[in-house]
Amino acid sequence: MKDTNRVMQSYGRCCASPDFFDDFYASFLASSPAVREKFVKTDMAAQKHLLRAGILNLVLFARGMPDTKLQALGRSHSRAHLDIRPELYDLWAAALLKTIGQHDRQLEKQDLEAWNAVLNKGIDVIKSHY
Ligand code: HEM
């Protein structure tokens, strides 16, 4: 199966798991004070909805959609705006992969490898705007 199809199916199972986004942010916020300080004023309920679409954008880009949405994310997260340092994306991806492992009950090793490839491809675009 193609990487992006594996990821789409896995993401569907994650989104159907009620606490997926809560658990992702619990894990991401726990990973570093540098992450927590970025979200002190954030409405986390709204943020979870935004992230749901944000992850979908990473998957759609890996499936061949133009990178328009990721360019916009790159600009909003850049030094001049949210100022998200590139190394924080490693924490983001690690928290996401861990949460996928907890919520996708049918996850296979190849799915995790597919997620890794798909996330890295999009994260590279976002980081290139820092
Ligand atoms: C806002 C997605 C990585 C911190 C947002 C938004 C989206 C999003 C869709 C709202 C729209 C916007 O501001 O452009 C993503 C995706 C990421 C990612 C897909 C990974 C590829 C990160 C990382 C951090 C971060 C690593 C580090 C702490 C923030 C903050 C906001 C934000 C602080 C604004 C929250 C607020 O409105 O108070 N992100 N993000 N993001 N993101 Fe990210």
- 41 CA: nearest ligand 1 atom: 38
Using only the alpha carbons of the chain, give its radius of gyration.
14
- Read off the pLDDT of residues 69-83 as tens digits, 9 standing for 90 and up: 999 999 999 999 999
**Has the ipTM of the complex gone over 0.95?**
yes
Q: Which residue has the tokens 């004070």?
A: 33
Q: What is the CATH number of domain 1-128?
A: 1.10.490.10
Pocket probe for ligand 1: among 28, 35, 50, the residue whose CB has the most ligand atoms within 8 Å is: 50
- 84 CA: nearest ligand 1 atom: 27
What residue ranges line ligand 1, CB within 6 angstroms? 35, 38-39, 41-42, 47, 50-51, 54-55, 58, 73, 76-77, 82, 84, 88-89, 92, 123, 126
- Read off the pLDDT of residues 58-117 as tens digits, 9 standing for 90 and up: 999 999 999 999 999 999 999 999 999 999 999 999 999 999 999 999 999 999 999 999
